[in-house]
Structure 1
């Protein structure tokens, strides 16, 4: 028994120690990751119900006229096309600069909705670029180790798959909730950990190995991965191509292909060509790898690049991005349902981490040392503050407020400062949850009412999620108050 107990004790220490050290950051990554899955929908949500006219789209040539009027060069212009998940036209001077957003029906400039980028960039890179991506990927490895340790610690009894004791106090409730989420969300947690780890570490490995594979010319590694530009005759000119007709012909030539981007190359010059990129049904890939090239006044096909047929490991690497961010448009059936489940599992994973942190704090509450107090303040101010700041950001966006980034960072900083100045026994968790709940409810309600007044509910799933998040936060406040009163009554009886 001693020999068998020692490994379990070691696993317990690893699980609890890693959760204590990385738990708050993991909670933030999982929470922002859930909202990042709805990034494009959130951008449309922040534009407001009256942002678009919902009329038939203009011809592509008219969008080019708008680009000329705004002083944008057409020689390397990239156009993000509207679809069911992306309601506006975006004109991009470069892949990373899509600052011009237009109503596809009339070319009128609309708000960019870039407030949604706050949560997306926080999850993707912590606002520090490529080093942040690598750091997030390392946290994916930490998540995998914690999943392994947690799975080893829990029994396989069937009754534990449904046990959630609500009448035995906060600690027992948190333990059952932690175990329940871990069991039911296990496959999704593995998906989050594996794809998160590969997202940044895979890119780092590619950078590191590029010089070894192609000595003196590491850029050839990326050309091999992404594909070289097509060979286009210098006499070819695409300036007179009917781009709308080209898109229709591309759709006919490639059934099941969803065009997302239209890129002009050397437009108006000899050797001009056009590239259509997007998602191919049945293939877990992205627009970076699924591309069709056309050249000449007749739009002759001059090249096709795809993840299909490129080897098992490379296809698995390409599939990481759509799987991680719940882009299931490549799934023939049930894509929206998978996306909804993916989002729910990410929120559940955040609750899993939060319940684990609570259990760690409860086990060490009686000692209440310096480390306990620091972690308590980080959990309340960092984790609870992030939840509150997210709700305030969405509420301010629904109310049409400006300076949304200021609302987000100001709310988070205020929560951290409040947690730091309050004594450990009087942490403002109830207050932060109440503010978050009310703000979520207000955000969903205000946006939904505005949408109804405009004659529809195009983004009702986000409004519904916000209302459910608000109701859950307010329910959590009620339960915390109930648990606190029960604990005080028990202490009084003992005294």
Structure 2
């Protein structure tokens, strides 16, 4: 056992490290050597968090080799820490897989929005339709088809944009507005991943679990046996415990670089927002609001007050694409149409560019087509560029379909690591006759969430997206099924054998969701149905794996 000095040092560091990191961040934000206040702010954030990690790591392992072997200490710490945070990590990582595939889930749950890939729509016609619908709007935002969003939307832009339900959705070549589509599965799961449905405080809590994931990944790699057979061994027929043990090690080892990337960017995804608010008074003591103004750089050009002839939006965008062929336009915002100072803002980003459309903007005059200003993350300081790169790296917005599916696989693998690690820990400590309360709690969280996600997919596939009450029905199904599963596992009595029916039900619901969804691709062109068929195939495979896992639980009913 570690001695009292080590325990005292570790406890003191756990309490002192956040305070020391915050003090260092404040000092850098206020007196750092960078002239740009925004760069000082994010330099303080990154360096402060790094210093905190180094302090915690040093306190844990400095001198521990004299007490117990370092490898043994890492193994014990990894096991107990994994059990302590594993259940919450399972929730965050499983929903993170859906968050990475938000476009795919949204496209799958909205049959009426499934369209074949088409060329860019007539922007001038979209502008005219928007002016007819929102005649008093000084700014109009036109979202062009991009990725799996196969239709365009037009809505008023500004500080308080119109709700999504009020936006004008149009298909290519069809002047009639698309009917309203209702669905909330993608948003429900993404919000659970981002904030635990607890707003900004929940976002901070989620980001803190990035520390736990990074610590567990590093500890697992350090603790992996340094033998060649162990790098590829997967005993699929040696029982559930051997399969879970080998799968846990293989997933943690081979996906460790990607898992570390997701963990680190997850840390700064939430703490970055907190740092922007907390360090702004130190980086911009005269006016803390300048921090957000400097970050967003939304400098509006006022209207002149007298009319002038306007350029064609289509001609403007075509000329821009010839000049900047690698830039994918995602939206066009029209300011003061018809005024001599009218201009258009083109937002988007390039392939594999670690930025988002929020920061990549071209501003063109609508009177003569000249370039007024170009905003880009590449023109920011190095520390600010690092902060801007966090979101595309974490949510796989840098490489299209491939990066999204890769991050989804990593999120699912992280969830499996959390669940299998907790299960293996419990197997060593659970009595042979009855499931312990920790085991029941783990089942309530992990299997309950799996069942609720399956029920959500099933009700989404079975209900039409023309039903206005569909989002409420989806939310009710998700939360009630999770609560019901939790009550089922936590109910007093013999706890053995409760997992198998839940796994089978979850697998059956996923297959029902896929089969119910298959009726829609038959009504659409092949190009519109392929993404849906791919998602249906994933649901069927996941359902089959859950049924297979249910069979394996016969020998391990807990």
Q: Secondary structure at the match of 2:389?
A: helix
Q: Indicate the residue corresponding to 1:440 in structure 2.
A: 510
Counterparts of 2:494 and 2:213, CA distance in 1 = 28
Over 3 Å counting, the alpha-carbon distance change for 1:257 and 1:310 in structure 2 is same
Counterparts of 2:448 and 2:308, CA distance in 1 = 53
Counterparts of 1:357 and 1:286, CA distance in 2 = 37
> Which of structures 1 and 2 has the larger relative contact order (alpha carbons within 8 angstroms, sep 6+)?
2
Within-5 A mapping of 1:448-487: 448-456=518-526, 457-459=529-531, 460-481=533-554, 483-484=555-556
Counterparts of 2:199 and 2:168, CA distance in 1 = 24
Q: Indicate the residue corresponding to 1:76 in structure 2.
A: 139
Report the alpha carbon displacement of residue 219 of structure 1 after superposing the two structures with TM: 1.8
Q: Secondary structure at the match of 2:371?
A: strand
Q: Is contact 1:388-1:433 (8 Å) kept?
A: yes
Q: Indicate the residue corresponding to 2:487 in structure 1.
A: 417
Q: Is contact 1:295-1:301 (8 Å) kept?
A: yes
Within-5 A mapping of 1:287-298: 287-298=357-368
Report the alpha carbon displacement of residue 373 of structure 1 after superposing the two structures with TM: 3.4
Give 5+ residue unaligned stretches, structure 2: 1-63, 465-469
1:16 corresponds to 2:16: no
Counterparts of 2:285 and 2:497, CA distance in 1 = 57
The structure 2 residue matched to 1:98, chosen from 164, 182, 201, is: 164
Report the alpha carbon displacement of residue 190 of structure 1 after superposing the two structures with TM: 0.4
Over 3 Å counting, the alpha-carbon distance change for 1:344 and 1:51 in structure 2 is closer
Give 5+ residue unaligned stretches, structure 1: 330-334, 488-495
Q: Is contact 2:141-2:332 (8 Å) kept?
A: yes
Report the alpha carbon displacement of residue 285 of structure 1 after superposing the two structures with TM: 0.8
Task: Please list the CA deviations of residues 99-151 of structure 1 after superposition, one character each: whole Å capped at 9, or x if unmatched.
Answer: 33624223323415433100111111112222121111101011111122222
1:349 corresponds to 2:421: no
Counterparts of 2:357 and 2:390, CA distance in 1 = 13
Counterparts of 1:75 and 1:474, CA distance in 2 = 56
Counterparts of 1:237 and 1:363, CA distance in 2 = 78
Task: Please list the CA deviations of residues 391-439 of structure 1 after superposition, one character each: whole Å capped at 9, or x if unmatched.
Answer: 2111211112532222212211211121221535236321221122112
Counterparts of 2:315 and 2:437, CA distance in 1 = 62
Over 3 Å counting, the alpha-carbon distance change for 1:73 and 1:467 in structure 2 is farther
Q: Secondary structure at the match of 1:11?
A: helix
1:383 corresponds to 2:449: no
Report the alpha carbon displacement of residue 260 of structure 1 after superposing the two structures with TM: 1.0
Counterparts of 1:145 and 1:341, CA distance in 2 = 22
Over 3 Å counting, the alpha-carbon distance change for 1:212 and 1:480 in structure 2 is same
The structure 2 residue matched to 1:186, chosen from 250, 256, 259, is: 256
Worse-superposed segment, 149-158 or 92-101: 92-101
Report the alpha carbon displacement of residue 179 of structure 1 after superposing the two structures with TM: 0.8
Task: Please list the CA deviations of residues 52-71 of structure 1 after superposition, one character each: whole Å capped at 9, or x if unmatched.
Answer: 48776653344345545655
Task: Please list the CA deviations of residues 346-390 of structure 1 after superposition, one character each: whole Å capped at 9, or x if unmatched.
Answer: 211111111001011111102999xx8343233212211111111
Q: Indicate the residue corresponding to 1:210 in structure 2.
A: 280
Counterparts of 2:170 and 2:457, CA distance in 1 = 22
Task: Please list the CA deviations of residues 163-198 of structure 1 after superposition, one character each: whole Å capped at 9, or x if unmatched.
Answer: 122343322221111111111111111011111001
Task: State the TM-score, normalizing by the size of structure 2.
Answer: 0.78
Q: Secondary structure at the match of 1:360?
A: helix
Q: Is contact 2:112-2:181 (8 Å) kept?
A: no
Q: Is contact 1:15-1:146 (8 Å) kept?
A: yes
